[in-house]
Amino acid sequence: MPQSNPSDTPPGNVAGADRPPPPRQGRRGEVLVVLQVALVAAFLFTIPWNPWLTPDFLALTQIPRVALLALCGFIALAIGGLGVLKLGTNLTPLPYPLDHNRLVTQGIYALIRHPLYSSQLFAALGWVIYSLSLSHLLLLVIGFLFFDYKATQEEAWLTERHPAYADYARGTRKLIPWWY
């Protein structure tokens, strides 16, 4: 009987386990990446909508809205940039960890487990605050729920690969530093 090669084991399966890949997500979470691209595109191409806004209110609140947009943009760039730098060669668009993956818990990852998802949420929050768009607020809520789901799936795969991930997750926030 031929020897089983761990590299022949489908992603998400432990050698010898008889679990199929996750349904409707692809073997490495490809469907989640496609959905993320669609969500970002929807956010970018949705027309701002808020029937209660008046030109006077927009003029009155312009300075604080611009300031909050800049703050959220800075936070998004900082969190995302630090996350990319700390991941290094572990960076992949797919939620399934690379074969050479190592567990990263230092730097920005000591504050938050998914800084690349968080950076997108902070950027979207900045636009929602600046535009006061109800359509974009709805997309931000959908985005938060989507990234929470995607992060949960990614964490299941990371826990399979790195048993220490469970302890790390218990002591580190998921998407929003010091809060969630």
Strand pairing partners for 142?
none
The arithmetic mean of pLDDT across residues 111-123, rounded, is 98
The CA-based angle 17-18-24, given to 5 degrees, is 115
Hey, what CATH class is 36-41+54-170 in?
mainly alpha
What 3-state DSSP class applies to 51?
Answer: coil
Distance from C-alpha of 63 to C-alpha of 42, rounded to nearest angstrom: 27
What are the angstrom distances between the C-alpha of 29 and each of 101, 139, 145, 177? Answer: 16, 21, 16, 25
pTM here? Answer: 0.84
SS3 content of the chain, % helix, strand, coil (to 5): 60, 0, 40
**How many percent of the chain have pLDDT more than 90?**
84
Domain coordinates in residue numbering, the chain: 36-41+54-170
Kindly tell me if the per-residue pLDDT of 15 is higher than 90. Answer: no
Question: Within 21-61, where are the H helices?
Answer: 30-45, 55-60
Predicted confidence at residue 82, as pLDDT, reads 98
pLDDT tens across 24-77, in order? 567 889 999 999 999 999 999 999 999 999 999 999 999 999 999 999 999 999
For 112, list phi and psi in degrees, rounded to 5: -150, 140
Cβ contact 113:105 at 8 Å: no
